[in-house]
Amino acid sequence: MRRFVSVFFITLFSSMMLNSAYAEEEMHHDSHTHDAHDSSELPEIGSSSGADLVKYVCPMHPQIVRDHEGICPLCGMDLVKQIFKQNVSTPKISVSGESANGLQQGLAIRTSKVERVTLWKYIPTFGKVVADDANVIHIHPRASGWISDLSVRSNGESVEKGQMLYRLYSPEIVSAQQDLLLARQNQKRLGNQANTVLESAKTRLELLGVSKDDIARIIQKRRVIHKIPVYASQAGVAGNLIVQDGMYVEPQTELMSLTDLSRVWVEAEVLPLQQNWIRDGLTASLSSEAFPKSEWESFIEYIYPVTDVKTQALKVRLPVENSANKLKPNMFMDVAIYGGPKRNVLAIPLEAVVDDGKTKRVVKALQNGQFEVSELTTGMQSEGFVEVLSGLSEGETIVTSGQFLIDSESQIQSNLQRLISGSTSSNDSNE
């Protein structure tokens, strides 16, 4: 019995997409041919007595429906007796009787209660590491000249703070150094009256990119430095490098950029179902497959004002301290965003929901081994549970495993009822 019922459910499920036109034609034909044979046995369709409707269906071809016993014209199998409930909007699938326990075990049916629980607002998602825009500087020469002694040769090289990047020979800087030495000589002759001129000469050199240490060295040695060294103002990774030794550069030329990765951003995606409770300041934990034993903590610092055109996902920004420089730009991260509890909500296991993309349904376990399919409206999802907004009541029993076969049988019975009702209505009008 168990084997037969399992095969029957599976074949019914696989035949749902077959054309129902043939079934309607067969039923129309049989209603005239066997009208006298069945009139004394079957209740009148549409009667208010609530009696059962008996039909005979091929196990391999559910579109073959007869009002009497017989064989399938397609495969030769004996037709199987089927009972359809009258005057019910949703068919109830019955597995009561001696075979009930065996059938439920064969279909691996498990059930659960609809309960009120506390759901924690929790979003498991992913993100990508990007550089902190505030930690990126662009290197430009302060005066026109020629590059020499370039220490950075390729993109991606690490640069320490205070490291010499290159030397620059600039006639403008050489002229400013000469003015500084002249102001220094006049200070000895004119005394404090020349202090203002000397400070102006120092400021001019600083604005041209000469460090204070080099200015002090120029004054101390009373000698011009023709190739002024330029140093990195912060540590970082070199990028956008376009310069080589011997090149002539101007102030508008961007020689390279330096990105400090000691603090980075993780941009995470939030899908539409969770966007209604996202706000600034929510805490998050981050991890990476590259470092399975490491975990980072962060918070939502900024919510971007636009969503992705294709996925409608909302992007949020999470700052992360990266002092060990483990996290690199474009590295993918696993992100978990926490939003606090949502208490006393009606919830069921997420696995119990049958979602076909248009409606969401569950299978309710009734008394006497019967099952009924019900539509429902769901809300927030969290760690394997989903909030129930409508369609179920507290304490009801739902099927969490094996519900797909029961749902398929219910859909088939509903479709057959509509076909049978339509065929009968057509026969009545012809009479």
pLDDT at 118: 87
pLDDT at 383: 76
Under a CB-based contact definition with an 8 Å cutoff, are residues 224 and 177 in contact?
Answer: yes
Report the distance separating Cα 364 and Cα 366, nearest Å: 6
User: Which residues does residue 364 pair with via DSSP β-bridges, in sequence order?
Assistant: 372, 398
Longest dimension (CA), the chain: 136
pLDDT value for 14: 41
- How is domain 123-132+261-340 classified at the architecture level of CATH? Beta Barrel (2.40)
Asked whether the domain spanning 141-259 has the same topology as the one spanning 123-132+261-340, the reply is no
| 115 CB-side CA count, 13 A | 8
The two tokens of residue 375 are 């539509």
How do beta strands 145-148 and 164-169 pair? antiparallel
Q: How many angstroms separate the Cα of 424 from the Cα of each of 25, 35, 68, 255?
A: 12, 11, 15, 85
Which residue, among 313, 309, 312, 310, has the nearest Cα to 267 in the 3D structure? 313
Pull the structure tokens for residue 32. 């005239």
Tokens of 430: 């012809």
Q: Would you list the domain boundaries of the chain?
A: 1-108+402-431, 123-132+261-340, 141-259
Report which of 8, 52, 85, 111 is spatially closest to residue 369, judged by C-alpha positions: 111
**Which stretches of 79-124 are DSSP H helices?**
100-106
260 with 132: CB under 8 angstroms?
Answer: yes
Alpha-helical (H) ranges within 168-247 are 171-190, 195-207, 212-221
pLDDT at 30: 45
Q: What is the pLDDT along the chain (431 residues), one digit of tens a residue?
A: 444 444 444 444 444 433 343 344 444 444 443 343 343 333 333 333 445 678 888 888 776 778 889 888 878 889 998 876 554 455 565 554 444 455 555 556 788 899 998 888 788 899 999 999 989 999 999 999 999 999 999 998 999 999 999 999 999 999 999 999 998 888 877 777 778 888 999 999 999 999 999 999 999 999 999 999 999 999 999 999 999 999 999 999 999 999 999 999 999 999 887 888 889 999 999 999 999 889 999 999 999 999 999 889 999 999 999 988 899 999 999 999 988 788 888 999 988 888 877 788 888 888 777 878 888 998 877 778 888 999 999 999 988 876 666 666 566 666 555 555 555 554 454 54
Neighbours of 347 (CB within 10 A): 23
End-to-end Cα separation, the chain, in angstroms: 41
**Per-residue pLDDT at 94:** 54
Q: In what order do the strands lie in the sheet with 145-148?
A: 227-231, 164-169, 145-148, 248-249
Rg (CA), the chain: 40
One-letter identity of residue 350? L
CATH number of 141-259: 2.40.50.100
Beta-carbon contacts of residue 315 (< 8 Å; ≥ 6 apart): 267, 268, 269, 270, 303, 304, 307, 308
The predicted structure's pLDDT at residue 11:
43
- Count of beta carbons in the 10 Å neighbourhood of residue 89: 6
Q: Which of 76, 31, 42 is nearest to 58 (CA)?
A: 76
Q: How many CB atoms lie within 10 A of CB 249?
A: 20
C-beta of residue 235 within 8 angstroms of C-beta of residue 262: yes
Q: Any idea what DSSP says for residue 44?
A: P
The pLDDT value recorded for residue 37 is: 37
Burial of 238 (0-12, 13-18, 19+ CB in 10 A): buried
DSSP string, 88-100: -SS-EEE--STTH
- Please give the distance of CA 90 from its chain centroid, rounded to a whole number: 35
pLDDT for the residue 24 = 42
Beta bridge partners of 55: 82
| C-alpha to C-alpha distance for 60 and 93, rounded to whole angstroms | 19
